[in-house]
Amino acid sequence: MSDVLVADGQRPRAGGPDRPVTDVAVGVLIDPQGRFLLTSRPPGKVYAGYWEFPGGKVEAGESVAQALRRELQEEIGVTVGAVHPWREQVVDYPHALVRLHFCKVFDWSGELHMHEGQQFAWQTLPVTVAPILPGTVPVLAWLQQERLPT
């Protein structure tokens, strides 16, 4: 893995050097005004209170799109339409080694309902919420790059 983002590198890694990679489907929901949705990590979870794009683990037998649809229904109460695979980033957190599969989502239905006690905020760049989860930081840079004239 060549392009690995190391979060909190001074902290020990759970599971040692040979720990498995966990695949995670992440939704970058973008509304018609160009705002994107960030949610806070729920109380009781690692990095509780940090802001991130919503999503969750890809279960055995699921595609990234299937996992994203399931996770967004479970976590924030929306039904996702088309899923547009966008970018991947491997992040080495102290608690887990994760491969984040970022997907853009422009089409969903249902009212936002935070089922895990988290908060949500529609954001533009620069974001006004903090702290930002380390795996979310590159996405903000990618969104900024896409806004720059070529």
Give the pTM: 0.94
* pLDDT value, residue 150: 56
Residue 116: is its pLDDT beyond 50? yes
* pLDDT value, residue 1: 46
Q: What is the mean pLDDT of residues 115-138?
A: 96
Rounded to an integer, what distance in angstroms lies between the CA atom of residue 43 and that of residue 56?
16
Residue 147: is its pLDDT beyond 90? no
Q: Residue 72 belongs to what domain range?
A: 4-147
Token pair 């699921």 in the structure block, residue: 62
Torsion of CA 141, 103, 3, 126, to 10 degrees: 10
Condensed to tens digits (0 to 9), the pLDDT of residues 59-95 reads 999 999 999 999 999 999 999 999 999 999 999 999 9
Q: What is the mean pLDDT of residues 31-38?
A: 97
For the chain, percent of residues with pLDDT exceeding 90: 88
If one counts the domains in the chain, the total is 1
Query: For the domain that residue 37 is a member of, what is the CATH number?
Result: 3.90.79.10
CA 65 to chain centre: 13
